[in-house]
Amino acid sequence: MVLGRYTSKQACMIGTGLTVSSMAAFHMFQPFTWVVSNTVWFSYLAVYLPMKQKSEYNTLAGAVVGALPPFIGTFAQTGLLLDPATLCLAAYIFSWQFPHFYGILYEHRDDYKKAGFVMTSGRDPEGDKTAFNQVLACTVFNTFVPVVMAFNGFLHPVFLAPFFAAQVKAFQATFEFKKDKASAKSSKGLKIASYPPFMVLLVGFTASTAYNKFKKRRDSDVREWPD
């Protein structure tokens, strides 16, 4: 739409089509999975987007909405929402979005201002107060989440070393962001530095979950069919 390739009507039709298609697809899994999915969809459209024109706390609302998708997969497979492993992953994603999004926001702060959005960059233009404090707190928090996951068997310990190596870069980018007063370069660096630890955790979590399920099924087969 920004480039003028789609009108608002066309975008609405595409969005509606995808929503209906997803509802049909989710019927193959646990009943009412589509309710969980549409809760995320509704929260994004009816809560997060309108808040961008009214309050800088839209970032908090967006982080909550952005952390909900893992529950869709868990509910689709198990019928449960409050799975401990999913809660850990959602907590990480929630916290991860602050350094990630602030990197985007401060790199393009002028565009957000022109669009009339009420953002943290308006009250903290140099990013060395509210933005930095939130980014640092979230980066520290996300350093411990994988440890908790590994302790509880949700993440194989082998993934901790590459995660921490990537997390060091995230801390460096955080302090560079403050030192350079949220310049476009340091903001972009903050955004880019947020990806590697997230990808390591996501790959590690997926691989560990698959291995745990394989191991559980293998042990079950051994008990059912002993030598």
> Residue ranges of the domains in the chain?
1-69, 83-224
Q: Extract the tokens encoding 31.
A: 């009943």
Q: Residue 51: name the closest of 97, 106, 119 by CA.
A: 119
Q: b/e map of 105-123 (b: 16 or more CB within 10 Å)?
A: bbbbbeebeeeebbbbbee
- In this structure, how many other beta carbons lie within 10 angstroms of the beta carbon of residue 37? 22
Surface-to-core class of residue 136, CB atoms within 10 Å of its CB (0-12 exposed, 13-18 middle, 19+ buried): middle
Q: Using the predicted structure, report yes or no on whether residue 226 has a pLDDT greater than 70.
A: no
Angle at 68 between CA 62 and CA 74, to 5 degrees: 170
For 97-154, the pLDDT digits (tens) are: 999 999 999 999 999 999 999 999 999 999 999 999 999 999 999 999 999 999 999 9
Q: Using the predicted structure, report yes or no on whether residue 225 has a pLDDT greater than 70.
A: no
Q: pLDDT value at position 220? A: 66
Q: Using the predicted structure, report yes or no on whether residue 95 has a pLDDT greater than 70.
A: yes
Distance CA 226, CA 57 (A): 58
For 38-84, the pLDDT digits (tens) are: 888 889 889 999 999 999 999 999 999 999 988 888 888 777 778 89
Q: pLDDT value at position 55? A: 95
Q: Residue 36: name the closest of 76, 6, 82, 3 by CA.
A: 76
Q: What is the mean pLDDT of residues 190-218?
A: 91
- In SS3 terms, 96-148 reads as HHHHHHHHHHHHCHHHHHHCCCCCHHHHCCCCCCHHHHHHHHHHHHHHHHHHH
Which of 5-9, 85-89, 165-169, 197-201 is predicted least confidently? Answer: 5-9
Identity of the amino acid at 201? L
Categorize the per-residue pLDDT at 2 as very low, low, confident or very high, splitting at 50, 70 and 90: low
Contact by Cβ (8 Å): 95, 142:
yes
Average confidence score pLDDT of the chain = 90
Q: Choose between 200 and 226: higher pLDDT.
A: 200
Q: What is the mean pLDDT of residues 185-200?
A: 97
